[in-house]
Amino acid sequence: MKTEKDSASLSKSQTAVREALCDSFNTPEAIVTIRDLVSKTNVYINSRGTVLNVRLVRLVAEWVGKMLRMFGLGEGEKLEIGWGQVESGDNANVGSLPSVAPILEFNIFCFLL
């Protein structure tokens, strides 16, 4: 994979999420797009070993975190990577949602950066 192609995946995902949300707020399509980007990023990370574009991975992680917070699936600062600190209460069981599992895998990696 080339960095330009990888950057294009982020850009295409951002556009696709925006289009989904402008289409009668099509949240399921937006979440699928985010999940697909996380999957592509995991493949990129696993295929590159130690030779990867950390800046690009960080940009993806920040954007995914921002989108998840927008949907109410995490807390924290605007550009914080990860879920932030979740208090007990309404959001305490977010990690148990099956559709969020692929994002959790990516989030754990990003936390280690």
pLDDT for 25 equals 87
For residue 12, the enclosing domain spans 3-112
- Are residues 7 and 54 in contact, defined by beta-carbon separation less than 8 angstroms? no
pLDDT band at 19 (very low <50, low <70, confident <90, very high): very high
Could you give the residue ranges of the DSSP H alpha helices within 23-98? 27-48, 54-70
CA 10 to CA 22: how far, in whole Å? Answer: 18
Predicted confidence (pLDDT) at residue 63 exceeds the cutoff of 60: yes
**Mean pLDDT, residues 81-105:** 51
Query: How many independent structural domains does the chain possess?
Result: 1
pLDDT band at 100 (very low <50, low <70, confident <90, very high): very low
Tokens of 100: 């969020």
- Are residues 33 and 16 in contact, defined by beta-carbon separation less than 8 angstroms? yes
